[in-house]
Amino acid sequence: MLVLATPGDTAGVAEEIASVVRVDNPQIEVRLTSVAGLADSLPSGREAIVVPLLTWDDPVVLAEIGKTVAARGEGVVVTEALGPHPLLAEALHIRLAERGLARADRVRLLNVSSPVDAVILATVGGERAVHAVQATAVLLASRLTLPVVAASLDSEPGVAVAAERLRAAGADRLAVSPCLIGYEAPRDLVERAAASINAGHAEPLGSHSAVAELVARAYGSQLAT
């Protein structure tokens, strides 16, 4: 069984992701649960693979999951977070393109021009989260052929400092790309951060098909071992 564990509410985006995983992988039994309700959701007497619905290895959330799994005993394993991964960078690119903040990458060719000069990859979780998504920032920069820097939405130095440094380096037109699934922060947090630096912003990853594919890949990789 694949047990999809979300730190947020199981309704909304988490439920949408679970639905996509089920449709794309009908051979897999998928159970959705909150991290707090994980103990009650683990199948009794059956093996299960727990996939945390995270874009980075949040130690607080993973410790809580690990404690629950350890109490359950053998037969349950936990995968790593969904990122960093090229598919995650692809989904972030598409979200930017949907808002006119990046060129669509249909033929995998370098773009001669871009709607923006640089991108701020925004996350929550403080300095540890910023460090953790650096690899994703590199992957996204490679796709966009633009500077991409990671910054925090909930701690300092944050988005404003990142914007100041980028503009000092000559990048006037900025975009904020939330490296978030959607449950991690209030919706207006990204909007307010982008408005404060006069930048556009993409939507969170949400139930993008790449997120569902990353869940299935995490499950498959653990199954293979």
> How does pLDDT run across 106-125, given as a tens digit for each residue?
444 444 568 999 999 999 99
Cα separation of the two ends of the chain: 15
pLDDT confidence of residue 224: 83
In this predicted structure, the answer to whether residue 1 has a pLDDT above a threshold of 90 is: yes
- Domain containing 121 equals 86-201
pLDDT confidence of residue 29: 95
The CATH number of the domain holding residue 47 is: 3.40.50.1400
pLDDT confidence of residue 107: 45
Residues 75 and 94 in one domain: no
CB 52 within 8 A of CB 65: yes
Cα-based distances in Å from 170 to 10, 114, 142: 43, 15, 19
Residues 102 and 195 in one domain: yes
pTM of the complete model: 0.92
pLDDT in tens, 37-84: 999 999 888 899 999 999 999 999 999 999 999 998 789 999 999 999
User: By percentage, how much of the chain surpasses pLDDT 70?
Assistant: 96
Residues 78 and 90 in one domain: no
Based on the structure, what is the number of domains in the chain? 2
Token digits of residue 202: 């993409």
pLDDT confidence of residue 105: 60
Cα-based distances in Å from 105 to 67, 95, 96, 169: 42, 12, 11, 26
Residues 92 and 178 in one domain: yes
Residues 69 and 108 in one domain: no
Lowest mean pLDDT among 97-106, 176-185, 198-207: 97-106
In this predicted structure, the answer to whether residue 99 has a pLDDT above a threshold of 70 is: yes
Residues 50 and 113 in one domain: no
Residues 113 and 178 in one domain: yes
Q: How many CB atoms neighbour CB 183 within 10 A? A: 18
Residues 155 and 101 in one domain: yes
Residues 31 and 95 in one domain: no
Residues 134 and 186 in one domain: yes
